[in-house]
Chain A
Amino acid sequence: MRRTVFPHKLLPWLLVAPQLAITLIFFYWPAAQAFRQSLLKEDAFGLKTSFVGLANFRKVLADPAYLNALQVTVIFSAMVAFLAMAIALFLAVQAEKVVRGKSFYRTLMIWPYAVAPAIAGMLWLFMFNPSFGTLAWPLRQMGIRWNPLLNADHAMMLVVAAATWKQISYNFLFFVAGLQAIPRSLLEAAAIDGASRRHAFWTIVFPLLAPTTFFLLVVNTVYALFDTFGIIHAVTGGGPGKATETLVYKVYNDGFVNLIMGDSAAQSVILMVIVIALTAFQFRFIERRVHYG
């Protein structure tokens, strides 16, 4: 709480006005509309709407296609979050061990952060394109019938690889920062206590990294849920079949391609609930550093 402030009364309102206006028009109003629509049903010609209560939700949650999307999302997110964090942690630990060239490695490591998800997907598709991908070629030479455009597992592997690749740089930077924040004296004490490097890592470093790990877990989950839309849209279009159709992709597909408004709105509301739950979860456990006031 500040002791001193400016005494003006009107000026602060003018200062928050732009952000408030944009927030209200582009955030609250649409969110409210999504809630409203999720309770309505449009007839086949889009002429009449009627209130149907929770029917849309019941329909969505009973829809095998939706449950499939849910399953795809869980598998996809878990794999991306785990791989992106594990690889980044491993590399961050290696980076801590080297003396020279740290900043050189870091510079090369952060590129993918700047690459748009959709382009990341296209790059991987290009490398693994069944007909002319340079990296698909050796697979085919080895007799693997590699085809991410037709094989559901291959498609999933490809989008997971692209999504993981893009997220490694972000996780790497956080793990490096987290490792550097661990007090040197603790590691020195462990070394004097005779702990082996491996033992010291699992008993001291890893537990002390827990806040970073936990934070990244939430961030990576949100990333896998939402930001990977571009990868899936650009690489597989949810296919083959519906093998890579995630929840967000399905909202988009039902709302803009298939034009089923009530369903799409109900799905939006479910997604909002998921985000709110994740955010609340995050605050409950790690955001104690944020001070309100």
Chain B
Amino acid sequence: MAEASPLAPRGAGRMVAHFWMILGVIVVAFPVYYVFIASTHSTQTILRPPLPLLPGPEAAANYRDAFTGGISKIGGVSLWRLLANTTIVAMGIALGKIAISMASAYAIVFFRFPLRMACFWLIFITLMLPVEVRIQPTYKVMVDLGLIDTYPGLILPLIASATATLLFRQFFMTIPDELLEAARVDGAGPWRFFRDILWPLSLTNVAAIFVIQFIYGWTQYLWPLLVTNSNEMNTIVIALKKMISFADADTPWNLVMVTSVLAILPPILVVVLMQRWFVKGLVETEK
């Protein structure tokens, strides 16, 4: 929107608004900037406050060290492995959610079958059962199914999502009846209708849900903490927490900072680069 609201002030008032926005942006963005700065300094500089506000000379050395084994020395697992684990989990959750919630929303909107509304409510009520309120018994199910320290164990319990199903259902209901009728008269069955018509029309919604769920997957904490015992299966967030809690005088803080940056960067990139879909997904999923 290029035009300001009718109540927008002119001149000095607008400058004041800019001032507050800049202050807000500094407060909001500063911690992220700060950790990035820290990742370019040596441990000695980091431990001697205050930290300079500009990048230091150690950037190349720190990042090279982190990727070539420095992290393995602290956590026992390479940085590559941590990033791979987190990517697999985040992608698995995002894509898995999209797949199963699209399928069930498709069934609920475009078919009539016995217990249809019962299915809808069964899914809908899970909104009220976040993992935090049923940690212990869920953990026991994972043990019984042998899913501890496995990717399915990290992914499966988090891919059933009422939110995504509701959003797809809401969107599918806006598809005019006539479009489905035209497709049926043209000879399309359920699969062709989905592939040729519904899927292309759903793409922006899919992108929006993907962004939200990728971040959801990447930032998971409690669940990975519970179902991973082996460091090999850690996500980067959990690994970082472990590095810090065992901190002692020898902790290579510069490498911890590099790890922090790499734990933050991918989801920030996704949010910033897919901003349009992210905002749409957020504002529309939740409303």
Contact = CB atoms under 8 A, between A and B. Distances in A.
B21 A94 contact: yes
A115 to B, nearest CB: 5
A96 B138 contact: no
Interface stretch (B68-76, B77-85, B264-272): B264-272
Contacts of A112: 28, 31-32
A91 B21 contact: yes
> Interface SS of chain B: helix, strand, loop or mixed?
helix
Interface string A80-122: 0000000100110011111101100111111111111111101
Contacts of B111: 5-6, 8, 11-12, 15
Instruction: Name the residue among A12, A32, A226, A279 with the largest chain B CB count within 10 angstroms.
Output: A12
Contacts of A111: 28-29, 32, 268, 271-272
B110 A184 contact: no
A255 B123 CA distance: 27
Interface stretch (B54-62, B128-136, B201-209): B128-136
Interface stretch (A42-50, A56-64, A164-172): A164-172
B31 A124 contact: yes
B100 to A, nearest CB: 4
A252 B138 CA distance: 12
Interface residues of B, number: 107
Instruction: Name the residue among A122, A127, A188, A272 with the largest chain B CB count within 10 angstroms.
Output: A122
Instruction: Name the residue among B49, B122, B245 with the largest chain A CB count within 10 angstroms.
Output: B49
Interface string B93-107: 000000111011011
Interface string B244-276: 110000000000000010011001101110010
Nearest to B211: A114
Interface string A128-159: 00011110111000000000000000000000
Contacts of B138: 26, 30
A197 B135 contact: no
A99 B4 contact: yes
A94 B110 contact: no
A188 B279 CA distance: 27
B200 interface: no
B21 A233 contact: no
Given A15-B104, A34-B136, A272 B129 contact: yes
A60 to B, nearest CB: 14
A169 B27 CA distance: 12
Contacts of A202: none
B156 interface: yes
Contacts of B190: 6, 8, 11
Contacts of A123: 31-32, 34-35, 260
Interface in B129-167: 129-130, 132-141, 156-157, 159-160, 165-166
Contacts of A197: 7, 9
Contacts, number: 325
B286 interface: yes
A19 B221 contact: no
Contacts of A3: 177
B100 A268 contact: no
Interface string A203-240: 00100000000010001001000100110011000000
Contacts of A122: 240-241, 244, 260
A165 B28 contact: yes
A219 to B, nearest CB: 7
B51 interface: yes
Contact of A22 (B13, B106, B159): B159
B101 A19 contact: yes
A16 B104 contact: yes
B260 A107 contact: no
Contact of B141 (A29, A131, A134, A268): A29
Given A15-B106, A252-B222, 20 more contacts: A2-B180, A4-B181, A12-B108, A15-B111, A19-B123, A101-B21, A108-B28, A111-B28, A111-B271, A114-B271, A116-B220, A118-B241, A119-B263, A215-B286, A219-B286, A229-B222, A230-B219, A265-B137, A268-B133, A275-B128
Interface of A: 2-6, 8-9, 11-13, 15-16, 18-20, 22-34, 37, 87, 90-91, 94-99, 101-102, 105-120, 122-127, 131-134, 136-138, 165, 168-170, 173-174, 177, 179-180, 184, 187-188, 190-191, 197, 200-201, 205, 215, 219, 222, 226, 229-230, 233-234, 248, 251-252, 255-256, 261, 264-265, 268, 271-272, 275-276, 279, 289-292
17 contacts: A16-B104, A19-B103, A20-B104, A26-B157, A94-B24, A99-B14, A109-B24, A111-B29, A118-B237, A127-B31, A133-B49, A168-B28, A177-B279, A177-B283, A191-B6, A226-B130, A234-B241
